[in-house]
Amino acid sequence: MPGSMIYLKACINGARTPDEHPALPVTPDQLAADAVAAHAAGARAVHLHPKNADGVDSLLAPDVGAAVAAVRDAVPGLPLGVTTGYWALPDATQRLRAIDGWSVLPDFASVNWHEPGSPELAELLLSRGIGVEAGIFHAEAAQSWAASGVAAHCLRVMVELGADGDVTTADEVLALASEADSPAPVLLHGLDDSCWPLLRHAGVRGLQARIGMEDTLTLPDGSRADGNAALVSAAVELLSR
């Protein structure tokens, strides 16, 4: 496989909609096709946002189950994760109840540590045998996560910066996250304008990285990507230099 020494995860849709890019995968079949293409291009795992019939992020069991089952059938053995984003169900109790009701389980799920009820949600996921990726958006979240009892049990910690994120901020948050007593590998990524600079920095630092239409719709040269496979290919090429 291309990029065999690189740990690159594909984040194939995020909370975006096809209004932003017509190739954005939404339905279970589209998610499966993009997971196949991203894996062939060098992605070693996939992260996706299940959608409801209206194309909106969903944490409800039927939507999550349909997305996970479709991708798993299409790419057996590829590690598969989903979002637990609070925006998809903005009530901590309802979010826990929805995720406790999942019947088709992903391999892992991301938990944004600054969101309400995240420690409890992480405990629930772990109790169900679902790996936890801790999403760390800023210094305060890094400190909170590092001090938590969950840190030692996470599958991965992701330092996730916004479009205005830079290398200096990334290094500050990475240093705080490293204070945790956790064996979890670290993944660094950005969004839109910060996406490619931080992917390069992940390579420099020897960290895991991710790429896909959740994080950017453009290639490193600023041109519009035609889809997830093109983004993964570009990231593999960049990280292989």
Residue 2 has pLDDT above 70, yes or no: no
Q: Could you report the per-residue pLDDT of 142-201, keeping only the tens digit for each?
A: 999 999 999 999 999 999 999 999 999 999 999 999 999 899 999 999 999 999 999 999
Share of the chain above pLDDT 90, in %: 97
1 in a domain, yes or no? no
Residue 149's CATH number: 3.20.20.70
Share of the chain above pLDDT 70, in %: 98
Query: Mean pLDDT over residues 3-18, rounded?
Result: 88
Reference 13, options 59, 61, 58, 50; nearest CA is: 50
15 in a domain, yes or no? yes
Query: Looking up tokens 């993009």, which residue turns up?
Result: 34
3 in a domain, yes or no? no
Confidence (pLDDT) at 1? 35
135 in a domain, yes or no? yes
114 in a domain, yes or no? yes
Confidence (pLDDT) at 80? 98
Query: Mean pLDDT over residues 95-100, rounded?
Result: 98
67 in a domain, yes or no? yes
91 in a domain, yes or no? yes
Reference 122, options 88, 95, 160; nearest CA is: 95
Burial of 47 (C-beta count, 10 Å sphere; 0-12/13-18/19+):
buried
Residue 239 has pLDDT above 90, yes or no: yes
Q: How many domains does the chain have?
A: 1
136 in a domain, yes or no? yes
Confidence (pLDDT) at 6? 82
Confidence (pLDDT) at 3? 41
Domain ranges, residue 105: 8-239
